Amino acid sequence: MMKRLTPLLIFLSMFANVAFSQQNIVDSTVSTTMVYATYSFQFPGGGLSKLFGSNSSIGGGFMIKTKSNWLIGLEGNYLFGGNVKNISVLLSNLETKDGNIIDPNGLYAEVYFYERGYNFLGKFGKVIPVLGPNPNSGLMVMAGGGYMLDKIRIHTSGNDIPALLGDYVKGYDRLNSGWVVTGSLGYLFLGNTRLLNFYAGFEFIQAWTKSQRDFDFNTGLRDNTRYNSQFYGIKVCWFIPFYKRVPNAYYLY
């Protein structure tokens, strides 16, 4: 009986070793799901560059990497910045002749302006295994599309300007939204020890947005501008892959 089982056990042992070695990240491509956190520093171009300067974004995503190094995923980002342009005309209908706003106490109000927004993106791409410690690392090319929203956040010290509270502030926030397409090129590093996994590269976003407000209070008119805008960004990501640890050997008892 044992003589008959011995060849079968040897075959199963060899098959198990081959199957596990094929899944080893060091010398083979592997399929895995990954979650990641991301940060970008962006420079605007086109229409929105007339409203905002440079901004940052933070976010996260979920990605699937196939054994053939194809990638597909979803990502969301929160946009923020403190460089708002043309603020001298934004609240012109509330200002005195000397360019100040008077609060209910008869004092000059302190008003601050910020850029705020978000985007949601679907992405697909591929890893080209060059210059990496294993065939799962290398140049990472991505493309995709989604939706974005951008606006001006207006904050007053003490929040005591009635004309800038509640729904009234919507007449000044320049809320705009629309569709975007995106492309990126960078380097993906998935470490052999599974502890160090990151991405760094450049990202381009093309956006087509328009105002979502009925009219702007400072002009009394609706903003019918259709913004054709771009974002040029430097992007870094930290990945957490969810593949099982592969043993170096397979033991039969």
Which pLDDT value is given to residue 244?
A: 61
List, run by run, the mean pLDDT of 10-residue segments along the chain (253 residues): 46 38 72 96 94 96 96 98 89 85 84 96 96 93 98 86 88 95 97 89 97 90 92 97 62 49
| Cα–Cα separations (whole angstroms), residue 91 to 64, 85, 202, 226, 244 | 47, 12, 36, 22, 57
Token output for 38: 């991301």
Q: Where are the alpha helices (H) located in 101-206, listed in sequence order?
A: none
- SS3 of 159, please? coil
Amino acid in position 161: I
What does the angle CA 171 – CA 77 – CA 91 come to, to the nearest 5 degrees? 20
Supply 198's token pair. 């990151």
- The residues, ordered by sequence, that sit 6+ positions from 138 with a Cβ below 8 Å of its Cβ are 127, 128, 129, 130, 131, 132, 187, 188
pLDDT of residue 251: 46
Helix (H/G/I), strand (E/B), else coil: 137: coil
Give the separation between CA 157 and CA 84, rounded to whole angstroms: 18
φ/ψ of 236, rounded to 5, equals -130, 145
Residue 7's H or E segment, with its range, is helix 2-22
96: β partners: none
Three-state secondary-structure class, residue 52: strand
Closest by alpha carbon to 37, among 57, 65, 64, 55? Answer: 57
pLDDT of 246 reads 52
What is this structure's pTM?
Answer: 0.82
Q: What are the chain's domains?
A: 31-241 (2.40.160.20)
Q: Are 36 and 235 in contact (CB under 8 A)?
A: no
